Structure 1
């Protein structure tokens, strides 16, 4: 599959005299069709990591569902895709194949993997860093094509320190991408979010184990649809300028600012992971430049999309023009305003839920009320529906709410995990 990329920049380039910060939304779109004779994603690699700690025994349907989901993911692998299955408790071990390596998917290897999965038993603790290190070893040597992991857990990372997990995440970040799923309600959203963000992936809750198989099947299909890995967003800035932040704004919020790798003078690369055809993502960047005189114009940043071999796949320009026309300089770009609001929405939800847990009713009501107002204003109906399960909404336009006395753990965790999923905005509005 040969992908073609387009880079578009949406901003208000006009700044008032003395202003220095330039905001822009950069939309990257990929298009491409697989050739009829090609083997789509045959160079892809998939590692499925299944929690087999003792808590997976309760209820017994949980481990059974995890096995069925893993089998569904294995069945979804195309012939030729390299894969492996890893089991994790307070250690990590290979389920299939026996050695830490990848094997090519075929009718025989898929059947053998499923037989091995059916033998899984639950026992022991939880050390997710060990699971990720073994997945990294399995991926070693696979230098071409996208590398993707699925990590399933039902509990908390109790058998290694947060510092150890941080070191592991620093080690594996950029080596493969990964999506995390929490089954049940005994795991920590913040913990899995840390892992998924390091792996440029998603985190979600599967409250009912019966939903695991379809979720695993869908994640595997999505991963195999990726045609190009290790794509970076490259930002050049003029002398004296500083990149304040680079964040993925859609389809989900992901801060890439600290992932910068210097690639040339005044130039840095930010990872975007793997791409498929018919895929589009939005990025919010903010650059601080040296203010110029009224009437002067500046290239505040050159944005390039760069492939794994260094090829430039697309480019866009972020401009700055200083003006004394207030009608121009005070106009808020629709795309920038929308995603600034979506970021505030996610922050309000997470802060409100944290306040609710700590018993701070006043702060929880205020922050979740603000979230309801922002969701209403931006048309984020999915998030609004999730909020309505946690608060009684009295006036969505004003953000007037009352905390519900009883909230199901699954509803609260679903709101938390999906708080970073954004609603896209129509461009040029």
Structure 2
């Protein structure tokens, strides 16, 4: 398998702590340069597998299913030769519509045409069991044994499985393949899409207009084909007495990795960060350390990007104790930015959860906080999204009134949109 020309990691932090200070924050910028020898997707990929999972439940009949077939056909056309691929349609069951049999096909002009023809026979009917679809995808990927596995999952409604059934199906998929989840139309549920994206290192989004599916499917396929290194992790070493409080991906989407730690030793833990190509992601690390006297310096963490036992890049997180208040209170731009972005996302998600539970007071308070934070951060996109769920009385103070009636699609779009963040501009970096 081809390897990235380079992966780099850079630490952004204010290393100065006040006397008795314990908490060390750092934002880690990880950048992959893409395929060795150039950033373009290769013309042949024998180490990659792609599965497209199409909701074929009864509610998909009509324009949504037509658009889904067109999008799947376009995604298949975008596959390089040599990629293993398949098309699965699902309702309460799951079927491999192409190829016939129980193994994936290999992409070529002939198989791509055959797959596009097979899409014509997909019909809508029945309910929705997303866990069943994911289980079939996992089985097919395992049979192929490719190094890099990617799935696109499209649904237009709520998952009909019991939560435990769905969770039991999703858990074995973790680490086996990446899955981008999409909702089409107005009946999908953000909770399902977000859970898939967070567990399977993918993205989650809503596509209200089915006509927009094709461009999105091609973009997801192209992005997947640009990946060339799977099973990457952040390895975090901390000194005796220190404790990792959290590790979160904060860009391009927020995902909490803290509970996914695998202990290498008492002082070293690894956090999976998925499959990589030419891209940049950022992570917020918070470590609690034992205080040292003023003037002392210590290594608070050593963070490595690893692939198996290969160390691809490494960066250091420092702690220096000082009695200079100006130094210890200075905010690092990246840390401050992503702390605010995470707080905004948490406020939106908490507010929407309270709204769904019928807790008007809590929903109003949390969504009001979100409106205020969006205003302070200049997040006009988020402000417009929130204005569809609440009536904004004063954005500066976060005074809002919960709308008694809000379109369900606006609520779900707000939920998936809350995970997406803006990167700190280069010229603002310390």
- Give the TM-score normalised by structure 2: 0.93
Look up the match of 2:418: 419
Preserved CA contact (<8 Å) 1:41 1:225:
no
Q: How much has 1:408 moved relative to structure 2?
A: 2.5
Structure 1 runs of 4+ off > 4 angstroms?
A: 141-144
In 2, distance between residues paired with 1:21 and 1:170? 33
Look up the match of 1:410: 409
Gaps of 5+ in 2: none
| Local SS of the residue matching 1:147 | strand
Look up the match of 2:324: 325
Q: CA RMSD in A?
A: 2.0
In 2, distance between residues paired with 1:269 and 1:96? 37
Q: How much has 1:224 moved relative to structure 2?
A: 0.7
Q: How much has 1:83 moved relative to structure 2?
A: 0.7
In the TM superposition, 1:324-403 aligns within 5 A as 324-403=323-402
Look up the match of 2:9: 7
In 1, distance between residues paired with 2:96 and 2:272? 29
In 2, distance between residues paired with 1:423 and 1:76? 28
How many residues are treated as equivalent by the alignment?
424
Look up the match of 2:21: 19
In 2, distance between residues paired with 1:311 and 1:141? 27
In the TM superposition, 1:8-87 aligns within 5 A as 8-32=10-34, 35=37, 39=43, 41-57=45-61, 60-87=62-89
Match of 2:149 among 135, 147, 155: 147
Matched, 1:89 2:91: yes
- Post-superposition Cα deviations, 1:160-217, rounded to whole Å, max 9, x if no partner, equal 3211221222211011111000112222211221111110111111112221122111
| Local SS of the residue matching 1:222 | helix
Look up the match of 2:166: 165
Distance 1:285 1:207, change over 3 A: same
Look up the match of 2:304: 304
Q: How much has 1:157 moved relative to structure 2?
A: 1.8
In 1, distance between residues paired with 2:260 and 2:101? 32
In 2, distance between residues paired with 1:358 and 1:233? 36
| Local SS of the residue matching 1:213 | helix
- Post-superposition Cα deviations, 1:212-271, rounded to whole Å, max 9, x if no partner, equal 122111111111111221111111111222211110000110011111122345211111
Gaps of 5+ in 1: none
Preserved CA contact (<8 Å) 2:187 2:409:
no
In 2, distance between residues paired with 1:254 and 1:385? 23
Preserved CA contact (<8 Å) 1:40 1:225:
no
Q: How much has 1:85 moved relative to structure 2?
A: 1.0
In 2, distance between residues paired with 1:33 and 1:151? 26
Matched, 1:216 2:220: no
Preserved CA contact (<8 Å) 1:100 1:134:
no
In 2, distance between residues paired with 1:40 and 1:375? 44
Preserved CA contact (<8 Å) 1:390 1:403:
yes
Look up the match of 2:289: 289
In 2, distance between residues paired with 1:10 and 1:154? 41
